[in-house]
Structure 1
Amino acid sequence: MEPVVEHSMSHNGFLVILSYLIAAVSAYAAIELARRVNSANRSTQNVWIIAGGATLGLGIWSMHFIAMLAHEVLRPITYSVPLVLLSVVIAMAGCMFGFLIVSRRTTRPALIGAGLVMGGSIASMHYVGMAALQGVTTSYNPWLAALSILIALGASLVALWIGFFSKYTQKKMHMELKVFFSLLMGVAIFGMHFVGMLAATFTFVETDRPFANAIEPSLLAWLVTAITILLFAIFFLSLTLDRHLRKREFIQATILDSTTDAVVTTTKDGMIQYANTAFYRLFDEVEQDAFFQDYHPSLTINQPFHEPRRVDLDDRTIEVTSYPLKGETMDQVLWFLRDVSETIASQRLVEHMAYHDTLTDLPNRHKLERILAEHIQIEDPVACLYIDIDRWRFLSDMLGHHGSDELTMQIAERLQVTIHPDDILTRVGSSEFIILLFDKRSTLAKQKAEKCIKAISQPFDIDGTTVELTMSAGISHYPKDTKSAEELVQYARLAVHESKRTGKNQIKEFEDESKHQILRTVEIEKALAQALDRNEFSLVYQPKVSLTQNRLEGVEALLRWNNRELGHVSPTDFIPIAENTGLIHPIGNWVMRESCRAWVRWNKSGVKPFTLSVNVSPLQFAREDFVESLQAILDETGMDPMFLELEVTESSMLSYEESTREKLTQLHQFGILISLDDFGTGYSSFRQLRELPVQVLKIDRSFIVNLFTDRNQEAIVRSMIQLGHNLGMKVLMEGVETSDQLEWLLNEQCDYVQGYYFSRPLLEKDVVKHVKSVTTYIEFGKTRA
């Protein structure tokens, strides 16, 4: 027999290249396998170890047999099937156990042990495969055989180090680097086979009978190639599918981890299968407890599905909702946990804002309605004390937005101090407050109103300005006056209207007897809003007589209102309502414009010009644009300001002296006369009157009514006339109706008078007739006789 030495053999180039490619692909599979084992959980790890180890072992085994088939001399030789099968089992089992060892513990001893197992199994596979040759005996060079074994061990150690111990286990390995490592390891694996073949010397043995359990090389080559390609295809297809699954899981995990809601899946008994980062952040813990209900005693797995449930966690509120996950062999529970503390706080804030006044933080009208509804439902006696601050629009115009807000807050604070803890104070309008008293305290409403008057009567300091207030109060009772919450408030408001008619700081309880008058007040308020549009207003003119000149000094424009439903409405009824509603501004402008137009028409008729007196509401005078508006009306109508006299009430002129003085100075520069109306009803001081540019003091008619029956009254009027003269002013007495009154005023040297004694108010068309027909008003000799 003649020996055949391996290194002198010729090779099939195609099979050599194919065997190397299989080795490189096997190395690539090993790298991918290691990454899957590292990143998977325990159960998934086992699947990848079995599948990947089998694929890697089979790849190395197929590389070995295809490389052996590449030797042309060995191609006629058959192979023992049992040994071939044994070699593939050794290769796959060695790879599986190697990966299993190193995946359980990534330490240096584990690496060495796994490398020895994997490298030994690869070397064993090689030499068992060599033993499968039939019809030939094989001898080995011990040094080369040992070198091949060392190469197998080294290649295994390198592969395991790259996959489990290198820096590439912690970060992504680029495709180029994986291919490079695969080609390099392919060289090592193929080199191990090549060195092992160099160590072998073959001696052919002739035999006449065929070997048992033999397989032909060509059949083995096709079988090995087919099985290898199929398994590689399955393996890499599974890698691709796993990559897509991982990508989808990564996206899902990223979405779930990026959401602020905690998401958890559990078994029916509460064991956690998955929990996102927000869940552990919600409880300020790392992953530790295996059961959902262990994180807080309030969490329960028996919560009904789809129904949100709120759980208090320390200072936070968590909304927990569960959903069943069934189907596809699943029987789990999906949980959503959301921190709704801010939402609840926002809802409470919105609700608070909806039911409380933004300026004073007192309950508003909506809250009042809810409170009344609750108490009326249980038939609890209620007293409604309605408070309205007098002259509020005037005060608002004078103080401005900031000042009126500051005043409102101070009023609210004072009222709050007066009420009992069981009472409720609400703000229902700019100057309107309601105090509710319940049960036995409902009988104390009037005493409560008196306390409020006392509190409000104390001076207020608004940015250095002293403000004195009065208020009007109305009271209604449930169930005495009404069975309805709406009517309870309405009746208290109607009582306020009635109290304003009787003076300042008055308290009026609602009574059925006065209901008609109160309702008329409400009807006046509604009708007044449409009076200008319906042309229901008209003007009449009251003559003013000069006692020193015995002639007509001028006329005073007086407003009249005749409504189609209400009939004639007295100015004393509708002027206060106009001031309270703000309608006094358009009405006042209309009076000024129409009276100026009438004066222009009189002047064109040829009569000698006389003074036109027009009343100005305190609210009008308080507006910042009053002077500009008046100037615009004068320019529009052509009225000569030298013959215009403005009658301003004492209360408005003597409030806020600085702004008043500026306006009066401007008006005086225009040539407009200023008359202090209703003198004696306010709180004038000598210093104030002396400093203001006022030309006429107009004494209120109330002082002349009891002129001859009250000696004190006579002294008072006499002192008023003397005061006006001492200040360099003219004095006018209104309401003169008898010759005795006229004679007394003549003796006291009063300058002007007006009243029914000389003439009733005249229509515009009658004024010219009156001027032309009446040339003298007083017969001096007869009057003084």
Structure 2
Amino acid sequence: MSGRVFTATGRSVKWWFIGGAFAMGLGIWSMHFIGMLAFSLPIPLGYAIEPTLLSLLIAIGASAFALWLACQQELPWVRLALGALLMGLGITAMHYTGMQALHMTPSIVYDPGWLALSILIAVLASGTALWIAFHLRQHSRWMIYSRLGAAVVMGCAIAGMHYTGMAAAQFPLGSFCGAANNGIDSNWLALLVIIVTLAVMAIALIISVLDHRLEQRTAHLATSLEQANSELMQMALYDPLTHLPNRMLLGDRLGQAIQTAHREQRTFATLFLDLDGFKAVNDAYGHHHGDLLLVEVAKRIRNTVRSQDTIARLGGDEFVLLAEVGEPTDAAKIAEKLIHALAQPYSIARHEVEVSASIGIAIYPDNGKDGHELLINADAAMYHAKDLGRNGFCFFEHSMNTNAQEQLQLLQDLRRALERKEFLLYYQPKLHAPDGPIIGTEALLRWQHQTRGLIPPNEFLPLAEKTGLIIPIGQWVLDEACAQMRRWYDDGHTDWSVAVNLSTVQFNHSGLLDSVRNALEKHALEPHHLILEITESTAMRDADATLVTLEQLAGMGVHISIDDFGTGYSSLLYLKRLPASELKIDRGFINDLADNNEDAAIISAIIALGRTLNLKVVAEGVETAEQQEFLTRLGCNSLQGFRFGRPMSARQLGEQLLQEEQPTVSS
């Protein structure tokens, strides 16, 4: 009963409490009554109705108190002791009130010792009952055995209290029972009490069992309903393929992020991500492989971002990330990590596939005040990143719509520039320190657009690298530079060399060696007349692979120059292994040479390093006589910069050489 009261809810708690108190009280009272019937005297006995009913009510009241106490959340020892005392006194009162129903004359005399012992047994029995009821109200593995044992303990304890109380009763000689004639007849009442008590207890037990089963079934149905609701919620708010939030849930999360950012004066980034090359995978291997790829992409995104960030799939190969950022550079770092993680090869059903990602970034509140505006602007920035060559990211700008059209047009023109023969090479002289003679040139690419005029390299080379157009453009540069070097050689400049810059994309391209070899063979040019320049960061990006490529180029006889030296991070262990012939000091160290002792110290260290490694040192960006004199004094082998000539066409360089040689001829 205590278990039913404790676990029931609503109005049923009251009915289980009343029913439990009645069943328990009737059980205790009927044990007392049947025990009274077992008592006999050599005189007729009967029981008055009022005291008998009062003893029953006392038993029910004591049981109600016991149930109430056992159903509390906690039962400390103080409360248990007080409850045991009150309940024990109640059971004792029930017993001795029932004894009063005999209406003995003279009155019953009770032995103080036995009386005290009966009260003590009642209190101990009550304490035991309370403790057992409190701890057995929850269902457990050993519940049946525990309750059977508890029933035996409680039955023995209550019976012991009854018969100890009966032993305390002493009847003087000549006593007679006043209720023998007008009290309850015990002959038929004994059978009635037994049947009613067993019926009440059996009914209570059966109802309790049935209710428990109903409760279990209801709990099972509730669990099934909860699981069904969870599945429906999953279907409604999550993408079934990747299990990421879908567009609906993203809208809710985006609204919450805006409210939080507005309230706490924070910013967050909306990153719109689209896969590059996903359609090719679908076309080549089928949609099943495409789905497997999307699952792997979702896993990589989850493993790359923070747990508090929201990742959603809008459909197809489009994903959105919401990330709290302190400043835009934080969003850029997240985008770079994502691009790097997603660009790694995937193993899909024993096929190795590669895709990249284009990411557009919109920052709240600068790039949008609501979720729809943020998504639209991030989407526009993503398409801008695709237009710039993919596998990159772009921040949204308010002028992006206009710039996107311009960039798209520029990209289209760049694709046709080779066909239209709009590219040309300028050459900047490189002199032997301190003031000559010329020992070679550096070939610099220019784009003579048919309508926009001369476009500087910094406007179109990044676009060419991102789109992969740098590969055919780079092949043209190599071919044209070797052709011009051949013409200079035929003009008598047999000690010259021409330097060509290689971008990271071009250097890592598998066709680089063939391009260099073909250009040299086509123009019958000795390899030592060609210098290939790679930046320090390119050389150190993948040092082992770089070493293999450079050794193959050096094996042809081509010279290698490390450009922009001092701006990256070089390992001397790898640097000494690189088959380079010269180091080129970045112009950034030359510009402030006169006013910056730190730059002078760096240049001095680079020159000393070059000498140690038997490398020639070239300084670019020389513009003043002071820089020329200082660099020569430190030990630079070659100088290059505006002081000796700006980049110019081959024809202009020839005219300049002719002018420089004329005074010598006239003398």
* TM-score of the two chains, using structure 1 as the length reference: 0.42
Larger Rg belongs to: 1
